[in-house]
Chain A
Amino acid sequence: KAGVTQTPRYLIKTRGQQVTLSCSPISGHRSVSWYQQTPGQGLQFLFEYFSETQRNKGNFPGRFSGRQFSNSRSEMNVSTLELGDSALYLCASSQTTGSDYGYTFGSGTRLTVV
């Protein structure tokens, strides 16, 4: 069974540009969530989608957005990149709500903003 697939694995962007990251969940999983991991702030929740609906959103500026498609694949977009956006972005999927089921994480996308 294929795991959670995130593309690309590594990305280098220039300040001010925008970036789109992709996540394909495990087959049959309908919930997809995104996290940002940095050495200073640790793991922080960005947003969660279920059946194309955003059910929760973390405390991030509006430059961070996401969406989920009908096949459960998800994308997140960061516009007007800042140096502080450099981080490992992790996607996780779950069959249902995940509260008791648990989330399966992808290997992440390492974004470097220069």
Chain B
Amino acid sequence: AQSVTQLGSHVSVSEGALVLLRCNYSSSVPPYLFWYVQYPNQGLQLLLKYTSAATLVKGINGFEAEFKKSETSFHLTKPSAHMSDAAEYFCAVSADYKLSFGAGTTVTVRA
């Protein structure tokens, strides 16, 4: 079964600093990977997706992620954090008509 693991349940960064959220996947076949963001009392919004077209994927709001097969990783980064980036972030893998999510990482941005 395909799964993802997010390292770190909470990340705190200063405004303007690099945001790095870690995700490792487990899959016996090339995976379809996604990052979603959830703001309080809202649903999930797709940030970006990896579908094997390119290993460096650019998403919305300045986020990007790099697929590294050798490390089975799909870490999410943003060069400069903004206060509006405070939210919960989920990594997910798609297979068998469903998404399997990681436990999520809550990002806090300090002024």
Let me know if B43 and A108 touch, CB within 8 A.
yes
Given contacts A48-B98, A55-B97, A56-B96, contact A106 B104 (CB under 8 A): no
Let me know if B104 and A107 touch, CB within 8 A.
no
User: Is residue B63 contacting chain A, with contact meaning CB distance below 8 A?
Assistant: no
Within 8 A of A (CB), among B21-73: 32, 34, 36, 41-46, 49, 51
Scoring A residues 59 to 94 as 1 if CB is less than 8 Å from chain B, else 0, what string do you get?
Answer: 000000000000000000000000000000010100
Within 8 A of B (CB), among A90-108: 90, 92, 97-100, 102-108
User: A72 CB to closest chain B CB, in angstroms?
Assistant: 15
Scoring A residues 5 to 29 as 1 if CB is less than 8 Å from chain B, else 0, what string do you get?
Answer: 0100000000000000000000000
Given contacts A42-B103, A100-B51, contact A56 B44 (CB under 8 A): no
Let me know if A107 and B43 touch, CB within 8 A.
yes
CB-based A-B contact count at 8 angstroms: 61
A108 neighbours in B (Cβ, 8 Å)? 42-43
Let me know if B101 and A43 touch, CB within 8 A.
yes
B94 neighbours in A (Cβ, 8 Å)? 98-100, 102-103
B43 neighbours in A (Cβ, 8 Å)? 4, 6, 90, 105-108
The contact of B97 among A6, A42, A48, by CB within 8 Å, is A48
Please give the residue numbers on chain A whose beta carbons come within 8 Å of chain B beta carbons, in ascending order: 4, 6, 31, 33, 35, 42-43, 45, 48, 50, 55-56, 58, 90, 92, 97-100, 102-108, 110
